[in-house]
Amino acid sequence: MRIEVRGQNVAHSPALWAYAERRLSIALRRVEKRVPVVMVRFVDENGDKGGVDKHCRVEVPMPRSRVVLVDEHHPDLYTAIDFAADRTVRAVEREIGRRRAKRAEAVEFRKAEKGKIAAAHAES
């Protein structure tokens, strides 16, 4: 799993970047084989003015599925990373569960169709 970290209007802090990479790699450890890349973006909208203007956006493009997107706002960027990592792992696991359910539903549908075809051949 590759983690890309970028910032906009945020001072490039190696400690912040390393924290984001470490926190997300730990949070997504269970699903890392299913997630090839994670993109993390930091945005500080108001700059030095303060307030709840710091965003941590995490994008996880799921193979053969949609993109999982989590956007977390908080005055402290480290806390925003923590909340975003927790929400991201739940969203990725939910998406994996949806894909499994669709696959199981498709298998059941094919079994039912084969049963109908076999019954039709048995009658003729």
pLDDT tens digits, 86-95:
999 999 999 9
- Residue type at 117? I
Q: What does the DSSP 8-state code read for residue 48? A: G
In the chain, beta strands by DSSP E: 2-8, 37-44, 54-61, 67-74
pLDDT for the residue 3: 92
Distance CA 60, CA 21 (A): 14
**How many other C-beta atoms lie within 10 A of the C-beta of residue 28?**
21
| Fold of the CATH domain 2-123 | Double Stranded RNA Binding Domain (3.30.160)
For the entire predicted model, the pTM comes to 0.77
Q: What does the DSSP 8-state code read for residue 32? A: T
pLDDT for the residue 40: 94
